[in-house]
Structure 1
């Protein structure tokens, strides 16, 4: 049989009467493994911070929606110490590390606006409450890391944002409290609450200000940023304390080592604001007449449609009748006009929790959107990252050339980043298992048609920070 040189090099052996085309098979396996690794690591982040008691920051993101509705951010906000005379403080050179996740819904525009602006508001809120700092200098006192997948707002919208923020800073400084620190010297909770509330107010105010019969595409973007919504969880860390500001159903969990050093415990740092939280239900009922209660919460949702009970944007749940009538010029809001009797029914005001860091036992913090927590319990998540730390010094495993071994190697490479490892557990839907998902599980999920992906899982945003 006359074979070309190319064909002869592909035929490597004769086994049981069959010829094996190994080079083609090897190429297919390599391409398959490479593609899977690329999908799961495109938005992967690993940064050695070594500041604010954080040694390392790891994060990853896997979209489900297109465009994705989840976002994340990492930066610093001003850190200050009290003056001996009390009132105000001195801004320190190294800022306080601040990071967070943003889970959008009903579109991505609100999540995009909040993730791009919140650090500015937190920086300005700190400075506005510190008598020793000039107004309007928030950008020079905060830093921001550019992360893979970050979206940039147009220059026109950024200019509108700065104008609103500058106006707020001026008015805030005229009515600032006596100190930007809490009674024990920690970060004042008012810094978070005022920043969250001001940003949400400006999103809605800006939207109402551009409504007309001759809107351009930038005006539509501004309106959509307030019509869509976003849950936000922000975490600020210094040498001694973790402060969480949460609005919605994202979650932060602390990984704590047992006293004997042999096991890991999950310590929840936040509460989810949904209908399963009876305190949240009561908070909303207390703000409205009893006659409205059956209408406000229907089927575990606000007005039967919105799952989180705190969020940025979602302005239809916040506007009074006159503003809804104005919005009626460009959107059909008849349904809300009929329901909205004593608005607002929704708030972006965060619930703030704080915890002193135990340097001997508190080892890491996991922050994620509900796309993670839908499929991974808090305890399993902590055990997965604990196992990740425990195995850091293990000998590097050796893998063979078989298909199965190459698949094992690909999954093992994904586990090098703690956030990616957790994300893979969520994709593999390993609710109660610490074992890495199989290659086939991860591969099957990325083969699902884009229009069907949302039926299987949500966008996933994960951050893991390791304490020094």
Structure 2
């Protein structure tokens, strides 16, 4: 029986917008969340739904079930570590990720690729990207390194895409490329890949018409049973943000390619006579209609008559939040083509695609073209970039962000990773954490997200340092950290309903050690937290 006078678990927990709260039962085995229901008159109204509170044993199991870690000792004297962890809110999860290392022949360096993909409208696009986008970028980079290969120019982009690994990855040799050329190659790979993705249903339709000996004057064929056609259609009409990190260790360069609103944040260790601090370097900008740069770009690409409709309420045509994405053909295909392909592939299977937004006039409104950011690396300088976090926006949505405070999400992530690498253990009050792991903001980036779903007090509660996997560690702390009731509540809300409180989350953390000159786990601030 719930108490008549419900109380929030913590006075600091609230959802921005309507004042939504979680409420716990007297025995803390159930809790209630606000839901929208349809009443007897057919109208929507707010109600409270009681849910069972999952025990910590199940919570820990779910947090750990997808976590992976990997260490690679390279012949040029650098040891690379990375962890990845995901937590679903959708069923199935729409996030995806991938990584790959391509060594050079002379063993003096590698190309290391790390990616996260934030799918929306289904997982078709993100899953495809996780299997093939690294290949596509590596193909473009191989053209720079192997420009003397006379066969490379005779292959089509799609042919090379699927054949690249078996013929090129084992013998690629990477030279001293300049930063603009590599950035341009990565950008081109993203754009060309999306072009192939968007054009694939049309290509299959053309082939089918030829095989059926039909012309444009004949009736529209029903290809709803054509497995390849339907798969390419599904990948085109769903969508995905993409975030890729490329480490060129021979030249000591890092490239971050961002399409969408996933985020890359680096931690730079700044030693001082008193010990030192972690400096935050945000390497990407959230590409949404709330980013002033993106809003201005979109308006400049469309007629002045659409100035008030291209971006509405921070969303593209009032619907899609990211302004750059793979797929999302509803924002790219002309209306006539959408209607044709919908009739060909989707209507016959009983899954017709949604109509384009009401204000749709001059497509495309969304692009997969990334913004590429570059940073130099140093493997032996104590005052240099030491780790990188790439994560889908589900992580950044639920970490602390209090507008009256100087503390923001990226700073918290850097502090949490820095404390983990320093060996902190146990539960650490948020009020004392900054004195243990000092952080400063070198570059805060541009926040393109809406008013945050969840905000907490910076000083209340505690962080939990209980996970060996640093990516899992970040997810745990994003959803409650050391405050177990809050963590259990956030993870006890079932799929479907949980999307009102948290998104799918995928996090990859990469860090490196060079010989014995720097050890990320034995810095001057290795203070053990008291339980």
Instruction: Give the TM-score category using the shorter length.
Output: 0.7 to 0.9
C-alpha contact (below 8 Å) 2:317/2:360 kept by paired residues: no
Other-structure match for 1:108 = 123
TM-aligned CA distance change 1:373 to 1:338, over 3 Å: closer
Secondary structure at the residue paired with 2:118? strand
Other-structure match for 1:60 = 85
- C-alpha distance in 1, partners of 2:386/2:142? 31
Q: CA RMSD in A?
A: 3.3
C-alpha contact (below 8 Å) 1:136/1:166 kept by paired residues: no
Does residue 341 of the first structure (1) align with residue 361 of the second (2)?
yes
Specify which of 243, 246, 253 is matched with residue 241 of structure 1.
253
Note the 1:224-373 alignment, pairs <5 A.
224-239=234-249, 240-260=252-272, 261-329=275-343, 330=346, 335-336=355-356, 339-358=359-378, 359-361=381-383, 362-373=385-396
Other-structure match for 1:445 = 490
Q: Shift of the alpha carbon at 1:166? A: 5.8
Secondary structure at the residue paired with 1:382? helix
C-alpha contact (below 8 Å) 1:180/1:188 kept by paired residues: no
Other-structure match for 2:512 = 467
C-alpha contact (below 8 Å) 1:124/1:136 kept by paired residues: no
- C-alpha distance in 2, partners of 1:283/1:131? 34
- C-alpha distance in 2, partners of 1:59/1:334? 34
TM-aligned CA distance change 1:456 to 1:338, over 3 Å: closer
- C-alpha distance in 2, partners of 1:336/1:414? 47
Other-structure match for 1:192 = 186
Other-structure match for 2:97 = 72
- C-alpha distance in 1, partners of 2:337/2:327? 15
- C-alpha distance in 2, partners of 1:335/1:242? 41
Q: Provide structure 2 residue ranges, at least 5 long, that are not aligned to the other structure.
A: 1-53, 166-173, 206-220, 400-408, 427-462, 514-531
Q: Shift of the alpha carbon at 1:77? A: 4.5
C-alpha contact (below 8 Å) 1:228/1:314 kept by paired residues: yes
C-alpha contact (below 8 Å) 1:371/1:459 kept by paired residues: yes
Secondary structure at the residue paired with 1:416? coil
Q: Shift of the alpha carbon at 1:458? A: 0.2
Secondary structure at the residue paired with 2:138? helix
Return the TM-score normalized by structure 1.
0.72
Does residue 421 of the first structure (1) align with residue 473 of the second (2)?
yes
C-alpha contact (below 8 Å) 1:78/1:127 kept by paired residues: no
Return the TM-score normalized by structure 2.
0.64
C-alpha contact (below 8 Å) 2:109/2:248 kept by paired residues: no
TM-aligned CA distance change 1:78 to 1:349, over 3 Å: farther
- C-alpha distance in 2, partners of 1:164/1:132? 16
TM-aligned CA distance change 1:183 to 1:55, over 3 Å: closer
Q: Shift of the alpha carbon at 1:33? A: 4.8
Q: Shift of the alpha carbon at 1:441? A: 2.9
Q: Shift of the alpha carbon at 1:114? A: 0.9
C-alpha contact (below 8 Å) 2:464/2:482 kept by paired residues: no
- C-alpha distance in 1, partners of 2:411/2:238? 32
Q: Provide structure 1 residue ranges, at least 5 long, that are not aligned to the other structure.
A: 1-30, 80-89, 138-160, 170-178, 396-410, 429-435
Other-structure match for 2:195 = 201
Q: Which moved more, 1:106-115 or 1:254-263?
A: 254-263
Secondary structure at the residue paired with 1:294? coil
Does residue 183 of the first structure (1) align with residue 198 of the second (2)?
no
